[in-house]
Structure 1
Amino acid sequence: MAWRLAHACFARIIPVLLCVAALGCGGEKTYRISGKVTFKGQPVPSGKIYFIPDGSKGNSGASGYADIKDGQYDTAASGGRGAPPGPVKVVVQGIDPSSPPTKVNPKEDGEVKSKVLFAHYETTYEVPKSSSTKNIDVPAEAGKGPVAPKSGIIIP
């Protein structure tokens, strides 16, 4: 009898717990960011932009990102992801599309490196709790830095 009572309680409690757990797994809220990226006054033809939550300012979560095409980006476009609200570090990489990517190790599949316009430009932004526009003008000095990021590889 005690076994049947315990079984009946668990049979009712388990589905309720599963529903509560599923409702709590909605993930963090992210917001769309779009805009233009220029370098030396010209649209950046190709590249990547990342919106990394600034942990030093109490922000956390997954990074937002987007491809830069013809000087424009949109985290809502295919291959992109919105960013969590709050302070973020914005990292921009500009790639020269006139130089074809080359394999790091021609005998293997995998990583390729590309000629860069500028390897790494960083600024900050406060992501609002709504869709927003952030235009970025990468200064000419960014192109005078190293020709590749610390890893030496950009994966387009």
Structure 2
Amino acid sequence: MRDNAIQRFRSRMLPLLACVVLAGCGGTYDSYVSGTVTLDGATLPRGTVAFSPQSPGAAAYGRIDSDGQYTIQTGREEGLASGHYLATVVANELPDQEGRDGGPPPAGKPITPPWYRSAKTSGLEFTVEPGSNTIDISLTSEPPADWKPPKQRRR
């Protein structure tokens, strides 16, 4: 009798569990963002663009290709939720040496100025509307008037 109750419970819970899992895996993003990233008028040849939401939600990222183009995705899914975002752009030169003992090579010299590497200082704010959005990001080597380099830590 007890085995019958367990089987009935399992047979009822399995479809419910499947619905819950599948609901979290679908294309839930209503917006798509792509564009070009430039620094002082020249396209960036590599790097990453990150969009951090100003309301609760997941951050989204896009890799900059050799033509300076990027497309934002959230995790492994294309797109992101519509809303207001702060953005960062990080790009480094290719490393000029191999990694030690078969490890990864050290990071190359930064291409993007340091203020674009933090959402607090980048000055990059965008409103993403539902549907397709083209957001071209123009960076400059000239620091913002209120830019203060971070203090160096003493060791």
Query: For this structure pair, what is the TM-score category when the shorter chain's length is used for normalisation?
Result: 0.5 to 0.7
Show the counterpart of 2:103.
109
Query: Structure 1 residue 94: deviation in Å?
Result: 3.2
**Per-residue CA distance 1:127-147 (angstroms, 9 max, x = gap):** 1121210011102215xx89x
> Is 1:36 paired with 2:33?
no
1:73 matched to 2:74? The reply is: no
Give the Å deviation of 1:17: 2.0
Q: Secondary structure at the match of 1:88?
A: strand
8 Å contact from structure 1 (residues 59, 87) kept in 2:
no
Task: Give the CA RMSD over aligned residues.
Answer: 3.4
SS in 2 for 1:117: coil
**1:87 to partner: Cα distance:** 1.2
Count of residues paired in the alignment: 138
Query: Percent identity of the aligned residues?
Result: 24
Separation in structure 2 between the aligned mates of residue 47 and residue 4 of structure 1, nearest angstrom: 58
Q: Which letter does structure 1 place at the counterpart of 2:50?
A: Y
Q: Which amino acid aligns with 1:24?
A: A
Q: Is the 8 A contact 2:47 2:65 kept in 1?
A: yes
- Quick check: 1:47–1:69 contact (8 Å CA) kept in 2? no
SS of 2:80 mapped into structure 1: coil
Task: Report the equivalent of 1:153.
Answer: none
One-letter amino acid of the counterpart of residue 127, structure 2:
E
Structure 1 unaligned blocks of 5 or more: 151-156
Task: Work out whether residues 64 and 80 of structure 1, in 8 Å CA contact, stay in contact via their aligned partners in 2.
Answer: no
Supply the AA of the counterpart residue of 1:47: G
Is the CA contact (8 Å cut-off) linking 1:66 and 1:80 kept in structure 2?
no
Query: Which has a greater percent of strand?
Result: 1
Please give the TM-score of this superposition, normalised by the length of structure 2: 0.68
Render the CA deviation track for 1:99-152: whole Å, top value 9, x for unaligned.
x4045963450252112222441211111121210011102215xx89xxx9xx
SS at match of 1:131: strand
Matched, 1:50 2:50: yes
Q: Which runs of 5+ in 2 are unaligned?
A: 117-121
